[in-house]
Structure 1
Amino acid sequence: MKKPLLAVKDIVQITGITARTLHYYDRIHLFKPTHLTEKGYRLYDRSSLEKLQTILILKEMDFSLKEIADILKLTRQEQKQILKKQRQTLLLRKQRLENIMTALDEYVSGNDISNLHIFNRSSVLPLKEQYANEARFIYGETEAYKVYNETMENLSVDEKEKRFSDIEEIYKQIASCIHQDPSSDEVQRLIEEWKENLMQFMTCDAELLACIAHTYKFDARFKSYFNQYGNEDLADFLYSAIMQNINR
């Protein structure tokens, strides 16, 4: 029995792709019809359908149309080698997507953006490292920053974690006092405790404290950071409490 020729509508019905896609594949010489009728209608034989299905599979494997055209010219063994490499590429992409999904879930659940490990497998630096570089760029020439940097370099990883943990605990306590006046004794006691903690890293004069307070209030990243402690107004509250402390 003679194999029938398939019209565009038949290919569309069999594969699910659109007629527009078939026409485009013809135009770029990726998948051309077997025959053209006198009226210009495209017809395809059964063997060309197998080629189209190979194209669709490769496209689903995330090859570009240009790459697919090149692959189709290769031997079966050469194609296998390329597919093995593509599998490794897709595996790395899968791991990256899983990393992004984990970071997304953590962020939605309230974790601070600076604690997300979203750039671990990227050329982009982790956010904490970006913040450190930014601080070095802005304050690197100041004496206070030099003292801070020297102090941090001399601390072990465990000591650094302990210092940051202590400061985070103070932020939590300040957050619990947010309904008080920023100048209240309780709030100011916590600000003094916060200052003492900072003094272990750098010399905190009024100018530097005012700069920190200003950053807390007007830098959106710090506002986001303080949101994790339960109140969106905490950055503004800290600003007021620090400025009250300076004016004392």
Structure 2
Amino acid sequence: MKKPLLTVNDIVQITGITSRTLHYYDRIDLFKPTHLTEKGYRLYDRSSLEKLQTILFLKELDFSLKDIADFLKLPKQEQQQTLKKQRQTLLSKKQRLETIMAALEEYVSGNDISHLQIFNTTSALPLKEQYANEARWVYGETEAYKSYNATLEQICPDEREKLFSSMEEIFRQIASCIHQDPSSDEVQRWIGEWKNMLMQFMPCDAELLACIAHTYKFDARFKNYFHQYSNEDLADFLYRGIMHNIK
């Protein structure tokens, strides 16, 4: 027959938690011993063990220790309502983690960070919106940007997405020519297609094209973006192709 009261060591052996944790729970009045011996040793009855197991369960459910203390004071019905709310919270966290894992897999497999959906459910703006805001901050006062923005506003979202897809196809074609000289006829033909595509959105003089070329070459985000089309340095290749086209 087992003894009616459990020592700290008994609790440690049964639950696997440390004596330090038990002492801390006692100090914050979360889990007090049932009895104290004359020498100050903590003793617990079997119902105390059940309470401790509830505390450990709630901790696994991502409750804070303060929330656990408040939870234990609630009537049974209110505890059930609290657990239902926590279930929804955990489901939201699960979905968030799944989104993060999917984005991580895409990034590890070579997709550019600008294509990831990582910020779509956070307070931070999606990356495409961040890039658009950055462009507005840098170029917003220029006539070229104003023309670009006015043109975009007149295009429906589906048509805009189609144009962006066409631009991506041009980058793929240029990437397929990366072992040619940037001044070759084929490369220059695709650079011309790229320029014509840009001119649907903005007037493209030599100065603006040179600015874009420099951005491609020296902005790490663009270098990473172009990496999805080629394992070579496509950003530098585009830079040289565009600069040759300007000259």
Question: Residues 175-208 of structure 1, C-alpha deviation per residue, up to 9 Å, x if partnerless?
Answer: 1111122222222221111111101100111221
Contact kept? 1:144, 1:202, Cα under 8 Å? yes
Q: What corresponds to 1:167 in structure 2?
A: 167
Q: What corresponds to 2:66 in structure 1?
A: 66
- 1:9 positional shift: 1.3
Normalising by structure 1, report the TM-score: 0.94
Q: What corresponds to 1:45 in structure 2?
A: 45
- 1:49 positional shift: 0.8
Q: Distance in 1 between matches of 2:62 and 2:8?
A: 25
Q: What corresponds to 1:146 in structure 2?
A: 146
- 1:40 positional shift: 2.8
Q: Distance in 2 between matches of 1:243 and 1:37?
A: 86
- 1:71 positional shift: 0.8
Q: What corresponds to 2:209 in structure 1?
A: 209
> In the alignment, is residue 24 of structure 1 matched against residue 24 of structure 2?
yes
Q: Distance in 2 between matches of 1:208 and 1:216?
A: 12
- Corresponding residue SS for 2:43: strand
Contact kept? 1:226, 1:232, Cα under 8 Å? no
Q: Distance in 2 between matches of 1:232 and 1:84?
A: 52
Q: Distance in 1 between matches of 2:239 and 2:2?
A: 84
Contact kept? 1:3, 1:45, Cα under 8 Å? no
Q: What corresponds to 2:35 in structure 1?
A: 35
Q: Distance in 2 between matches of 1:98 and 1:83?
A: 22
Normalising by structure 2, report the TM-score: 0.94
Misfit runs of 4+, over 3 Å: none
Question: Residues 46-102 of structure 1, C-alpha deviation per residue, up to 9 Å, x if partnerless?
Answer: 111111011011111110001001111111111111111111111111111122222
> In the alignment, is residue 5 of structure 1 matched against residue 19 of structure 2?
no
Question: Residues 110-161 of structure 1, C-alpha deviation per residue, up to 9 Å, x if partnerless?
Answer: 2222122122222211111111111111111110001101111111122112
Taking only the aligned residue pairs, the percentage that are identical comes to 80
- 1:3 positional shift: 5.6
Deviates more, 1:108-117 or 1:159-168: 108-117
Unmatched 5+ residue regions in structure 1? none
- Corresponding residue SS for 2:237: helix
- Corresponding residue SS for 1:43: strand
Contact kept? 1:223, 1:232, Cα under 8 Å? no
Q: Distance in 2 between matches of 1:135 and 1:22?
A: 56
Q: What corresponds to 2:181 in structure 1?
A: 181
- Corresponding residue SS for 1:17: coil
Q: What corresponds to 2:80 in structure 1?
A: 80
Unmatched 5+ residue regions in structure 2? none
Give the partner amino acid of 1:85.
K
Q: Distance in 2 between matches of 1:156 and 1:200?
A: 14
Q: Report the aligned-residue RMSD.
A: 1.6
- Corresponding residue SS for 1:122: coil
- Corresponding residue SS for 2:103: helix
> In the alignment, is residue 219 of structure 1 matched against residue 219 of structure 2?
yes
- Corresponding residue SS for 2:151: helix
